[in-house]
Amino acid sequence: MASIRLFLTLTLIAIIVLVSFLSSLRGYRESMSEAETLFDMQLQEHAKLLSLISPSTNTSGAAKLLEELVLPKQGDLELSAESLIAYQVFDDQGVLVMRSVMAPSVAMSPLEVGYSDRNFSGYRWRVLVIHNPDEQRWVMAAQRLDVRYELAESVILEAVIPTVLSIPLAAVLIWFIVGYGLRPIGQLAQAVRSREVSDLSAVRLDNVPGELTPLTLSTNDLLRRLQSSFNREKRFAADAAHELRTPISILKVQIHNLLEEMAAPSATLQELQLSIDAMGHLVEQILVLNRTAPDQYMVQFLPIDLYKLAQEVISSEYEAILEREQHFDLEGSSAIIRGDATALRSLVSNLIANASKYSPNHARIRMRIAQRGTRVSMLVEDSGPGIPAGYRERVFDRFYRLDGDRHASGVSGSGLGLAIVKHIVEMHSADIELSSSKELGGLCVSIQFDAAETKQEHKGILT
Amino acid sequence: MTDAVVIVLREVLEAMLLICMLMASSTAMGYRFRWMALALLLGVCGATAYALRLEQISMAFEGFGQEIVNSTLLIAIAVLLAAHNFLAVKQLKDSKYRIPYGLLLLVFAGTVSMAMTREGAEIYLYGYSYGVLADNMSSVFSGGAIGMGIGLSIGTFFYYALKSLPRNKRLITCCVVSLVLAAGMMGQAALYLSQADLLPSQGALWDTSNVFSESSLVGELLHAAIGYEASPSLTQVLLYLGSILTSLLAMFAAWFLYRKPGSGDAGDAR
Amino acid sequence: MKFANVLKTLRHSLVRASCLLLLFALASTASAQTPVFEIEIREHLFFPAEFEIPANQKVKLIIYNRDPTPEEFESYELNREKVIVGNSQGVVFIGPLKPGEYPFFGEFNLKTALGKIIVK
């Protein structure tokens, strides 16, 4: 992923490096050439002075040696010996009249007036040659180039080094400042990400920078539209189901009356009654589904004994089970979880109804409730045909039904049962898993709840 | 200090152009920079080994070991860059094509580590003998830092400039850059070989040193980018053009002969 | 398998070309009797700093580095660069060159290691 922070940091440092390094490089060069001019002027001063005070002729035959008397002591100024200037004085015939100790006995440069760079005595020298026609003297003054550079550089480097050393510091500062500057983006992202699923209210941030205002506004606009369409959809389903309840009850009463009135009710009429019952069931299920949608459930959870609750539900559903001559077991013992009694009843009844409905006559159904440590597990197994592994995710979708083999049993259903189960499971932050039952061979629904934590709550158990 | 700046800048600039081009190219091929770790490790080891063994290498091949090693490295880099272009063209033709990681590692890390071996050895040699041994740390290292800083900064801009291009354009640009870099490498290899008298050397074909002196900053940049030489010989020019031609040929081959897997006979591609 | 064929022919032609080049190179080494010139590096200086070589002829240049530090003999005009390790020597072939001045320098000591070849 391309990072804005990295990009800004790197390019900003690159710009600073380029600008400051190039300018200090230029400064270095300017200062060096300035220093060179100074050294050259120094050479010139020395040469001029020497041309005035040097002896007129080579009297003794050998060139006079100019001792370094000016120096206090060798040890006092270690560098001075090297930085000293070498002199040679020639007469007009080109005979060496005088030289300093460091100067060679042959001419350092041809007798041409001006500056030049020469190699002798194992070093490279800057040599100045001047000619004094009045005194008939050629004076040469030379200075070691490496020493000149070293001297000049030692001064100029002092100005360059801080620039170089300051770059890492600048880099660290830029990294943090860029990070700080980009923080509102992270905050906005965090504000959008961290909210609850159902929370579609506007994002509110303090001090939103100008650049982010359009994004914040459009995010909030999007959230608002989402909220209104979500509300519309939610209300529609619930309202429709609610509105359908009354006509369906009326239908039920009327078909009941019709059946009463007729001496021998026709088969069609009985089927009509069954269909109306199914429709009533569907509408009830839709209402439960909407009531239990996890994103809008706001009920205070209370401690509930799941085992006791299951017992109650089973006793009300038992008729249907007996009708199909199915064998039902409830195993386990008291297990307390925190939850909503109405929703949990709906959960258990849906699970039992499902198991019963989709298993053949004489099938076995078993429900087991047990507490293991901090978890309470509820297992519902049957000896029906089960659900193939590939469909186990899909069955939680609303109105999804496994067609074919299941429907061959002629069972009518809303396709909402497992969707409701899933809602209730999510509402209780529990986990649900579908697998095949090892012992009974059919479907095995396993739900894991968190057990209620404190023992005190056992006192106020509701079922 | 300017010595250090020039030496380090020259080498870093050459290496950075190559590395940044390959980094941009690897983003276009859908790979991150994991290969860089191996490349840098190998490069640093290679450079150190080359610098430490330089004496033995120089003595080998009748005193032309350096030229032979350098030209071999340069030619190998040029060949790998041609391979890069070949892969890039495949990628261009079929955006779903994913270069095997081993192959990418070989081409990319190989190129970078070999380039670093060559460029790094000189920096190591200079820094060690004139900075550490001569106790001239402040001058050599501030100069080196300045050269390195300028080189890395130019590389950063180069990388982000390439990265700002859309994927296909980025790949094409990388191919062009790699083409020119490889040609420059071949030209330089030709120089080394004629320096060792392994290739015939002729007089300069032309001289543009009064337009862009090779020692000027522009000249250095051009040298690093396109292998600019003010007064090249015939061999150099021939190898330069030959490298471009060969690489183009490989690219055309990749373009016209590669079939997307699934479209027609996929066997042709392998 | 068309593609593999193309690669194979490419590789073959490359090998052939490099063989030719090598032959060419060997022939050129054997042919001429090249004059030899020697220069020394002492205290980061070239000795001699200036010398003459004949024009339009290949010349063998032996550079002795008497310093303990390495030096890189380099010249933009001659298109040459070679690192010479401390206390050793290196050989560089130069030319054939047109008459003129060809400066060279030691890259590790740009201030002092300067010199030029005068081609006559």
Query: Which chains have 3 or more CB–CB distances shorter than 8 Å to chain C?
Result: A, B
Is there a contact between C111 and A149 if contact means CB atoms under 8 Å apart? yes
Spell A6-44 as b/e; 16+ CB within 10 A means b: eebbbbbbbebbbebbeebbeebeebbeebbeebeeebe
Q: Residue A389: what pLDDT?
A: 81
Cβ atoms of B37 and B113 closer than 8 Å: no
In this structure, the answer to whether residues C51 and C107 fall within a common structural domain is yes
Instruction: Extract the tokens encoding B2.
Output: 């300017």
Q: Which of A391, A455, A378, A458 is nearest to A424 (CA)?
A: A378
Helices and strands in chain B, H and E counts: 10, 0
Q: Residue A91: what pLDDT?
A: 82
- What is the DSSP-derived secondary structure letter of residue A84? S
Separation CA B149–CA B152 (nearest Å) = 5
How far C87 CA sits from the closest chain A CA (Å)? 17
- With a CB cutoff of 8 Å and minimum separation 6, the contacts of B146 are A21, A24, A25, A160, A164, B1, B4, B5, B8, B9
Q: Does residue A388 surpass a pLDDT of 80?
A: yes
Cβ atoms of A443 and A381 closer than 8 Å: yes
In this structure, the answer to whether residues C47 and C24 fall within a common structural domain is no
Counting as low any pLDDT under 70, the low residues of chain B are 260-270
Where do the structural domains in chain B lie, given as residue ranges?
2-258
Is there a contact between C114 and A123 if contact means CB atoms under 8 Å apart? no
CB within 8 Å of chain B, chain C residues 29-48: 29
CATH 3.30.565.10 fits A299-460, yes or no: yes
Which residues of chain A have a CB within 8 Å of the CB of B146?
A: 21, 24-25, 160, 164
Which residues of chain C have a CB within 8 Å of the CB of A146?
A: 44, 111-112
Q: Does residue A62 surpass a pLDDT of 70?
A: no
- Inform me whether the C-beta atom of residue A123 falls under 8 Å from chain C C-beta atoms: yes
Residue of A nearest to B4 (CA): A25
- With a CB cutoff of 8 Å and minimum separation 6, the contacts of A367 are A310, A314, A328, A329, A330, A331, A332, A351, A352, A378, A379, A380, A381
Handedness of CA A375, A380, A381, A387 (dihedral sign): negative
Q: How confident is the model at residue A245 (pLDDT cuts 50, 70, 90)?
A: confident
> Based on the number of CB atoms within 10 Å of its own CB, is A3 exposed (0-12), middle (13-18) or buried (19 or more)?
exposed
Cβ atoms of A127 and A109 closer than 8 Å: yes
Q: Does residue C6 surpass a pLDDT of 80?
A: no
Where residue C46 falls (left for φ over 0; alpha for ψ -120 to 50; beta otherwise) is beta
pLDDT digits (tens, 9 = 90+) for C72-85: 999 988 889 899 98
Q: Residue C13: what pLDDT?
A: 55
Cβ atoms of C94 and C108 closer than 8 Å: no
- Inform me whether the C-beta atom of residue C97 falls under 8 Å from chain B C-beta atoms: yes
Q: Residue A416: what pLDDT?
A: 77
Which H or E element spans position A348? Answer: helix A341-357
Where residue B197 falls (left for φ over 0; alpha for ψ -120 to 50; beta otherwise) is left
Where do the structural domains in chain A lie, given as residue ranges?
4-168, 213-289, 299-460
pLDDT digits (tens, 9 = 90+) for A20-52: 999 998 999 899 999 999 999 988 998 888 887
- Inform me whether the C-beta atom of residue A79 falls under 8 Å from chain B C-beta atoms: no
Average pLDDT over residues A202-206: 76
DSSP states of A3-24 as a string?
Answer: -HHHHHHHHHHHHHHHHHHHHH
How many B/C residue pairs have CB atoms within 8 Å? 112
- In C12-53, which ranges are E strands? 36-42, 45-47, 50-53
How far B198 CA sits from the closest chain C CA (Å)? 5
Which residues of chain B have a CB within 8 Å of the CB of A21?
A: 146, 149-150, 153
Please work out, in degrees rounded to the nearest 5, the angle formed at the alpha carbon of residue A273 by the alpha carbons of A271 and A274: 65
Separation CA A57–CA A403 (nearest Å) = 129
For A109, other C-beta atoms within 10 Å of its C-beta total: 19
pLDDT digits (tens, 9 = 90+) for A320-360: 778 878 888 888 888 888 888 888 888 888 888 888 888 88
Q: Does residue A72 surpass a pLDDT of 50?
A: no
Please work out, in degrees rounded to the nearest 5, the angle formed at the alpha carbon of residue A438 by the alpha carbons of A433 and A439: 125
- Among B9, B58, B89, B140, the strongest candidate for a mutation testing the C interface, having the largest count of C CBs within 10 A, is B58
Q: What is the dihedral of CA A126, A132, A133, A137, to 10 degrees?
A: -80
- Inform me whether the C-beta atom of residue C96 falls under 8 Å from chain B C-beta atoms: yes
Cβ atoms of A429 and A338 closer than 8 Å: no
Cross-strand pairs, C51: C117
Which amino acid, residue B181?
L
The CATH number assigned to the domain holding C56 equals 2.60.40.420
pLDDT digits (tens, 9 = 90+) for A366-378: 899 988 888 899 9
In this structure, the answer to whether residues C70 and C98 fall within a common structural domain is yes
pLDDT digits (tens, 9 = 90+) for C20-51: 555 555 544 544 578 999 999 988 899 888 89
Query: Which chains have 3 or more CB–CB distances shorter than 8 Å to chain B?
Result: A, C
Which residues of chain C have a CB within 8 Å of the CB of B144?
A: none
In this structure, the answer to whether residues C105 and C58 fall within a common structural domain is yes
Residue A440, helix vs strand vs coil: coil
Separation CA C47–CA A49 (nearest Å) = 33
Q: Does residue A414 surpass a pLDDT of 70?
A: no
Which residues of chain A have a CB within 8 Å of the CB of B1?
A: 28, 153, 157, 160
Separation CA A305–CA A8 (nearest Å) = 59
In this structure, the answer to whether residues C21 and C48 fall within a common structural domain is no
- What is the DSSP-derived secondary structure letter of residue A130? E
Q: Which of A298, A293, A318 is nearest to A425 (CA)?
A: A293
- Inform me whether the C-beta atom of residue C110 falls under 8 Å from chain B C-beta atoms: yes
How far B12 CA sits from the closest chain A CA (Å)? 14
* Average confidence score pLDDT of chain A: 81
Helices and strands in chain A, H and E counts: 10, 13
In this structure, the answer to whether residues C20 and C75 fall within a common structural domain is no
- Inform me whether the C-beta atom of residue A145 falls under 8 Å from chain C C-beta atoms: yes
The boundaries of the domain holding residue C22 are 1-31
Q: Residue A460: what pLDDT?
A: 47
- Among B16, B140, B146, B162, the strongest candidate for a mutation testing the A interface, having the largest count of A CBs within 10 A, is B146
Range in A143-147, B223-227, C2-6 with the lowest mean pLDDT: C2-6
Spell B7-36 as b/e; 16+ CB within 10 A means b: bbbbbbbbbbbbbbbbbbbbbbbebeeebb
Backbone angles phi, psi at A74, to 5 degrees: -55, -45
Is there a contact between B142 and A161 if contact means CB atoms under 8 Å apart? yes
Which residues of chain A have a CB within 8 Å of the CB of C45?
A: 119, 122-124
- Among B137, B156, B165, the strongest candidate for a mutation testing the A interface, having the largest count of A CBs within 10 A, is B156
In this structure, the answer to whether residues C84 and C98 fall within a common structural domain is yes
Q: Which of A96, A74, A78 is nearest to A86 (CA)?
A: A96
Which residues of chain A have a CB within 8 Å of the CB of B154?
A: 14, 18
Instruction: Extract the tokens encoding A303.
Output: 């401690």
Q: What is the dihedral of CA C3, C4, C5, C6, to 10 degrees?
A: 60
Q: Which of A164, A125, A114, A169 is nearest to A148 (CA)?
A: A125
Q: What is the dihedral of CA A98, A101, A103, A107, to 10 degrees?
A: 30
Q: How confident is the model at residue A259 (pLDDT cuts 50, 70, 90)?
A: confident
pLDDT digits (tens, 9 = 90+) for A298-318: 566 788 888 988 888 888 777
Radius of gyration of chain C (CA): 19
- Inform me whether the C-beta atom of residue B215 falls under 8 Å from chain A C-beta atoms: no
- What is the DSSP-derived secondary structure letter of residue A57? S
Cβ atoms of A219 and A184 closer than 8 Å: no
- Inform me whether the C-beta atom of residue A117 falls under 8 Å from chain C C-beta atoms: yes
Across the interface, of A11, A22, A161, the residue whose CB is closest to B138 is A161
How many A/B residue pairs have CB atoms within 8 Å? 52
Is there a contact between A11 and B142 if contact means CB atoms under 8 Å apart? no
Across the interface, of B7, B197, B231, the residue whose CB is closest to C93 is B197
How far B101 CA sits from the closest chain C CA (Å)? 21
For B225, other C-beta atoms within 10 Å of its C-beta total: 16
Domain A213-289: give its CATH architecture.
Orthogonal Bundle (1.10)
Is there a contact between B2 and C72 if contact means CB atoms under 8 Å apart? no
Which residues of chain C have a CB within 8 Å of the CB of B250?
A: 10
Higher-confidence residue of B132 and A249: namely A249
DSSP states of B95-118 as a string?
Answer: TT----HHHHIIIIIHHHHHHHHH
For chain C, give the percent of residues with pLDDT over 90.
28
How many domains does chain C divide into?
2
- Inform me whether the C-beta atom of residue B2 falls under 8 Å from chain A C-beta atoms: yes
Radius of gyration of chain B (CA): 19
- What is the DSSP-derived secondary structure letter of residue A118? E
In this structure, the answer to whether residues C56 and C109 fall within a common structural domain is yes
Q: Residue B114: what pLDDT?
A: 95
How many A/C residue pairs have CB atoms within 8 Å? 21
